[in-house]
């Protein structure tokens, strides 16, 4: 049996909006600061180095251009490269932020399943290199908790058999009744942007 709680991949590109927007903003601000610093350095170097008249050849006509005219030749190119740099940095920020947001989203879903008592919840990431160790530790934690609760459940059963009217056994059984300790793994999966029960 498969239960799916799907999310649309394109309309929900921002999984963790605030985190992703902060990361994108930081990358774009860094690119903008770098671009402005480069532009300022180029203009300062130009004004300090070239204070004389520059001879520029265009269509076999010799024209004298002042340094102000040369700056106006450089600025459009600089402006275009700045715009391209900002667009590229926005794209890199969007891609990078999603790489961080998806694992955080999956961790939240996994923790939510554990909170609901689904102790067989499994966490898997597509980003094997970065998150494999984290998912292994989380799955080990869930597995150990599940095994401990199964042991407690067995002890409660033994206590009930020895003393059917035991109030401790009744309270423990009530506390354990909200837990799903079965062997069917519930995998938190965002490959298809779903939480699947298999």
Each residue's pLDDT tens digit, 102-153: 888 888 888 888 888 888 888 887 766 567 788 888 888 888 988 898 888 8
Whether 1 has a pLDDT exceeding 60, the answer reads no
User: Average pLDDT, stretch 81-103?
Assistant: 81
Query: What residue ranges do the domains of the chain occupy?
Result: 17-197
Whether 90 has a pLDDT exceeding 80, the answer reads yes
Residues 78, 42: contact at Cβ < 8 Å?
A: yes
């Amino acid at each position: 049996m498969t239960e799916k709680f799907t999310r649309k991949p394109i309309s929900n590109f921002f999984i963790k909006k605030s985190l992703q927007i902060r990361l994108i903003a930081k990358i774009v601000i860094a690119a903008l600061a770098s671009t402005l610093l480069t532009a300022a350095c180029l203009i300062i170097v130009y004004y300090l180095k070239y204070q004389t008249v520059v001879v520029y050849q265009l269509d076999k006509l010799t024209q004298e251009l002042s340094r102000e005219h040369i700056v106006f030749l450089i600025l459009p190119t600089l402006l275009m490269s700045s715009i391209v740099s900002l667009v590229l940095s926005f794209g890199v920020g969007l891609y990078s932020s999603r790489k961080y947001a998806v694992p955080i989203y999956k961790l939240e879903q996994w923790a939510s399943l554990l909170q609901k008592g689904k102790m067989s919840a499994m966490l898997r990431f597509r980003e094997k290199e970065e998150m494999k160790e984290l998912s292994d530790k989380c799955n080990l934690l869930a597995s150990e908790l599940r095994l401990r609760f199964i042991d407690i459940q067995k002890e409660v059963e033994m206590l009930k058999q020895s003393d059917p009217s035991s109030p401790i056994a009744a309270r423990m059984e009530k506390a354990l009744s909200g837990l799903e300790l079965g062997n069917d793994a519930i995998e938190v999966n965002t490959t298809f942007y779903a939480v699947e029960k298999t």
